[in-house]
Structure 1
Amino acid sequence: MGCLEAFLSQHFPCNMYERFKNLDDSIHCYDISLEEHDELNHTTYIQDMRIRHPHLALIGYGDDNPDYARWLCSGSIISDKYILTAAHCMFIPESGEIKFAALGTQQWPTDLRYWQIYKIVKIIVHPEYVPLSKYHDIALLKTAAKIIYNLEVIPACLQRFDYMPGEAIATGWNAIGHHKHPADILNGVPIIQFSHIACMEAFAKNRQLAYGYNSYIQACYGDGDYSNDVCEGDSGGPLQVFTNRRKAKCLHTILGVTSYGRACGHLGTAGLYTRIAAYVPWIESITGYLT
């Protein structure tokens, strides 16, 4: 084992770091699912989110050398072998094949030597997904090697129940507004859940949504007051909440996967997310049970 691998494999005490001080050291910082929705904390960590997104992944396409890969979609670490993302990220025209997942990507562009980069050996698209459609827009990527957890690389939990909070966080490199340059650090932006009627109006029947908005498998969030939304390049990234509960198993719980947006960063618009709770049985049929 090389020096870097040996360092990254060491257990670190949670209470050494502000972000981990409320987590239980005895079960490790990363090995700790939310049980009650009233424990979810949505907005108090926004500033810290600019430097702490340990479950985020960038997905690289095309070249076998990561130095020349195109990083076009996002995803989330959900176990030491699997990345959760959007199915439509498998079908980006002229992007080439998915080759890599980059983890610990707090800043970008940066020297790739500071990232953990894993080869992708298997792509699992939901069996009901149809390319160009926005239904069942969910997929899993399996890494060739076991993911090494550390302060910058920690999996998130999955939402297992139907409750969707009124506020959540969208995370990504481009989640800063329409026609703005991608950020050089990951951004977390607060967004609110739109009403069912507003979602039906925003995502009416069209070529990609043959039956319109489906609240059982989709959710729509955005912001009516600010230009907070997800943008191109954030596809596949998480809609999430944070918890600071003492016995929390994860720092973040993923509510949805970024699927589709009308116009990123425009006032009053909503983004469309694949609702995770509807797909936990399918996910765990592949990954095994996720604590």
Structure 2
Amino acid sequence: FCSMDVFEPTLCCKQCGPVDNSSEPEAIMRGAGLADVVGGYDDDRFDYLHMALLGYGDDPKTAKWLCAGSIISDRYILTAAHCTSSPTLGNITFAALGVLKRTDDFNMWQIYDIAKVIPYPDYEPPSKYDDIALLKTRSRIRYNVEVAPACVHKGEEMPDIAAATGWEALRDTQPVPDHLQVVYVKKFSQEDCMKQYPQHEHLPKGHDNFTQACYGDIYDGNTCEDDSDGPLQIKTENSKKSRCEHTIVGVRSYVRTCGEAGVPGMYTAVSHYVPWIESYTGRLP
């Protein structure tokens, strides 16, 4: 291990609805107000309305706001299982919606108590498999011009290019940014994923092609370890019909190194978990 964060040791391995699956980088960038998760851009307030900033503590005003998630229904938020609990901070207790900047007026946020934390039943930390969870809010989420749900990916094929979002460090040496970040990433082949993530203490079977996918920055570097939790998404086809602007295809799990070109990050593939998700939410678009 290189270090400890608030959730778990940092892994440092020295080895080694229908969706638009054909988005070009230029087209994706036109859909976001472009600064960097590692090589990315500041998001615009009206681009990623499903984003949730997750808090730990007894009072929203003093809570530690660290992980990110995605609204997928009026009672459920999708996130990474490793984010649901911290040895030092305890369980997630709040979700803040309609957040663009951490320093925005606190009264601008919609804050919801988390009534139930539901990690995928086969998730066993510190393993990196099945790193996905649901958060149930105590009250129904109110949709408006700044808060809206995303769809979940139900197709077998992962997109070639997608957008990763979150409130994370631009580089491992930089502080956590104030502004919601966007970075555009490309899919790595299964062979490359298996080479980058071979068998390891936290990956006893190595990279799992059925439940995991690798994505890296299309220009340089990748997302950092602190990014691990935010969604990977694409624009939804026929968004007016589905009422989802974006479709969540992955949930950020971890990365071997931070900001290094050619080293992809690991994402949990959402489509594999749709039956489990819908057992709580009911059928989703």
Q: Check whether TM > 0.5.
A: yes
Q: 1:242-257 maps to which residues of 2 (within 5 A)?
A: 242-243=235-236, 245=238, 247-249=240-242, 250-257=244-251
| Equivalence for 1:45 | 31
SS of residue matched to 1:66: coil
Supply the distance in 1 between the matched residues of 2:80 and 2:229 (Cα, whole angstroms).
4
Q: Between the two proteins, what is the percent identity of the paired residues? A: 47
| Equivalence for 2:159 | 165
| Partners of 1:46 and 1:189 within 8 A in 2 | no
Amino acid at match of 1:167: I
| Partners of 1:226 and 1:267 within 8 A in 2 | yes
Supply the distance in 1 between the matched residues of 2:102 and 2:95 (Cα, whole angstroms).
14
Aligned residues: 257
Residues 23-43 of structure 1, C-alpha deviations (whole Å, 9 max, x = no match): xxxxxxxxxx22664589644
More helix by share: 1
| Partners of 1:76 and 1:84 within 8 A in 2 | yes
Residue 56, structure 1, aligned to residue 51, structure 2: yes
Supply the distance in 1 between the matched residues of 2:239 and 2:214 (Cα, whole angstroms).
30
Residues 50-81 of structure 1, C-alpha deviations (whole Å, 9 max, x = no match): 1122111111112x210111112110000000
Question: Which one of 83, 87, 94 corresponds to residue 100 of structure 1?
Answer: 94
Q: 1:216-227 maps to which residues of 2 (within 5 A)?
A: 216-223=210-217, 225-227=219-221
Structure 1 pair 198/35, CA: closer, same or farther in 2 (3 Å)? closer
| Partners of 1:261 and 1:271 within 8 A in 2 | yes
| Equivalence for 1:110 | 104
| Equivalence for 2:270 | 276
Residue 214, structure 1, aligned to residue 208, structure 2: yes
| Equivalence for 2:252 | 258
Residue 69, structure 1, aligned to residue 53, structure 2: no
Deviation at 1:165, TM superposition (A): 1.3
Supply the distance in 1 between the matched residues of 2:19 and 2:159 (Cα, whole angstroms).
14
Structure 1 pair 246/210, CA: closer, same or farther in 2 (3 Å)? closer
Deviation at 1:256, TM superposition (A): 0.3
Q: 1:127-276 maps to which residues of 2 (within 5 A)?
A: 127-174=121-168, 176-223=170-217, 225-232=219-226, 234-243=227-236, 245=238, 247-249=240-242, 250-276=244-270
Structure 1 pair 215/117, CA: closer, same or farther in 2 (3 Å)? same
SS of residue matched to 1:67: coil
| Partners of 2:248 and 2:270 within 8 A in 1 | yes
Greater gyration radius: 1
Amino acid at match of 1:100: F
Supply the distance in 2 between the matched residues of 1:127 and 1:225 (Cα, whole angstroms).
36
Q: TM-score, normalised by structure 1?
A: 0.82
The farther-off stretch of 36-45 and 281-290 is 36-45
Supply the distance in 2 between the matched residues of 1:246 and 1:85 (Cα, whole angstroms).
22
Residue 79, structure 1, aligned to residue 73, structure 2: yes
Residues 60-103 of structure 1, C-alpha deviations (whole Å, 9 max, x = no match): 112x2101111121100000000000111123221222110111
Deviation at 1:242, TM superposition (A): 1.4
Structure 1 pair 265/35, CA: closer, same or farther in 2 (3 Å)? closer
Deviation at 1:264, TM superposition (A): 2.4
Amino acid at match of 2:130: H
Deviation at 1:108, TM superposition (A): 1.2
Amino acid at match of 2:55: G
Supply the distance in 1 between the matched residues of 2:154 and 2:254 (Cα, whole angstroms).
22
| Unpaired stretches in structure 1, ≥5 consecutive residues | 1-32
Structure 1 pair 149/224, CA: closer, same or farther in 2 (3 Å)? closer
Q: TM-score, normalised by structure 2?
A: 0.84
Deviation at 1:253, TM superposition (A): 0.5
| Unpaired stretches in structure 2, ≥5 consecutive residues | 1-16, 35-41
Deviation at 1:222, TM superposition (A): 0.6
